[in-house]
Amino acid sequence: MRLIILITAVLISNLGLAQNYYVYVTAESEDEVALIKFDGKTATADKTIRVGYKSVEIEGPHGITVAPDGEHWYLSMAHGNPNGLIYKFKTGTDEVVATTELGLFPASMQISELTGFLFCVNFNLHGEMVPSTVSVVEPNTMQEITKIPVGTMPHGSRISPDGKFQYSVGMMSGDLVEINAMSLEVSRVLPLDEMEMDHSKMNHGEMNHDEMDRSKMNHGNMDHGAMKHSKTKPTWVQPHPTNGNIYVAGNGTDEILEISSSEWKVLRRWSTGKKPYNLDITPDGKKLIVSYKGEGATGIWDIKKGVELKKISNSRLVSHGVAISPDSKYAFISAEGKGGEPGSVDVIDLKRLEKVASVNIGKQAGGIAFWKMD
């Protein structure tokens, strides 16, 4: 189905027809999802969808993804009792189809076209520095199949182009985790910090997280101040569509890491703007788009050269998510804003390297997913 969408995109693009682009964007502090329509010139909020069911509690829609066949979209809700939920909606009508409970603060997610499973990281942003999990969901029945233990505060959840692997990064454990999307087990882990971590006060060798009984742990007596967490603070991972490399946002060290999936090592580190957060790569494989959360800007990188082509200011100070149109022409950037400010979605023309449209949505614009072109 994705191929058909790509073909359609290329055909429309080659024929020079006028087209509309649609992206779904979450507003995390508004409990809303906005459907943004961009006609090549102007971006508008075509529809606002209320999500959640507690009128006086913010449930926090965070991660969003559209199924490969474009028929449904999936939304993670960060806050629950205490676990968050994942919702399944019908695209277009935006009706709720089903929900299921995942882990603490479920966040980014994607579906493997090969296995059909949805992989969602349980970000656990609640302050307790403990290993978390990736939930695997069967999207048709919306049943959680299993939770796979990974690092601390896993974020970014992206599938390799062949659908065989899911990648996430441990924001506090500082590692890149590869999950075999077929066997549903961790296949490789790559530490991303350059020996900066001081684990001298932590004996990981003796730790068996699988058999940890958290109810018997006395976190009150743990010296969290003595624990050093990842300096790199990786926040996103994006496999390249064709070159076999994986790109990671080093939010703590202001860099992009280029990692060879075959050699399983860091090839290059590029210095970036402040606090790179989310990434996406154009389907043609040429450009890497990076949101800089620390400076309210977006960087556009030439992947082959490892050079930032341009940095573009966003409409709000806290840049968040990135989605790219299948024709590689436009990047859609969500920017959270602060306090009572509305969130925004900026549209960047990737050929002209300039912001061409912007639209306000609800507060704390976050997760963003491309739906369709017509």
Binding status of residue 127 toward other proteins by CB under 8 A: yes
Greatest CA separation found in the chain? 66
Distance CA 215, CA 222 (A): 14
* 210 lines the binding site for other proteins (CB under 8 A): no
Residue 236 CA: distances (Å) to CA of 170, 174, 322: 9, 11, 11
Question: How many CA atoms, within 13 angstroms, populate the side-chain half-sphere of residue 80?
Answer: 22
Nearest distance in Å: CB 197, other proteins:
20
Which residue is associated with the tokens 């999207």? 139
Q: Binding to other proteins by residue 244, rule CB under 8 A?
A: no
Interface pick for other proteins out of 82, 241, 263, 267 (rule CB under 8 A): 82
Report the distance separating Cα 309 and Cα 373, nearest Å: 26
**Smaller CB distance to other proteins: residue 59 or 308?**
59
Residue 44 engages other proteins in binding (rule: CB under 8 A): no
- Alpha helices (runs of H) in the chain, residue ranges in sequence order: 2-15
Pick between residue 205 and residue 220 the one whose CB is nearest to other proteins.
Answer: 220
Task: Name the minimum Å distance from CB 186 to other proteins.
Answer: 14
Q: Tell me if 100 contacts other proteins by CB under 8 A.
A: yes
Nearest distance from C-beta of residue 313 to other proteins, angstroms? 17
Q: Is 238 in the site for other proteins (CB under 8 A)?
A: no
Tokens coding 281: 């790569």
**Cα angle 143-140-99, degrees, rounded to a multiple of 5:** 50
Please check whether residue 78 is in contact with residue 86, taking contact to mean a CB–CB distance below 8 angstroms.
Answer: no
Pick from 20, 46, 54, 307 the residue near other proteins by CB under 8 A. Answer: 54
Give CA–CA dist 230/191, Å, rounded.
Answer: 9
Residues 334-363 that bind other proteins (CB under 8 A): 336-340, 363
- Residue ranges in contact with other proteins by CB under 8 A: 3-4, 6-7, 10-11, 14, 28-30, 32, 48-58, 79-82, 85, 87, 93-96, 98-101, 104-105, 114-116, 125-128, 138, 141-146, 180, 182-184, 215, 219-220, 224, 284, 317-318, 336-340, 363-364
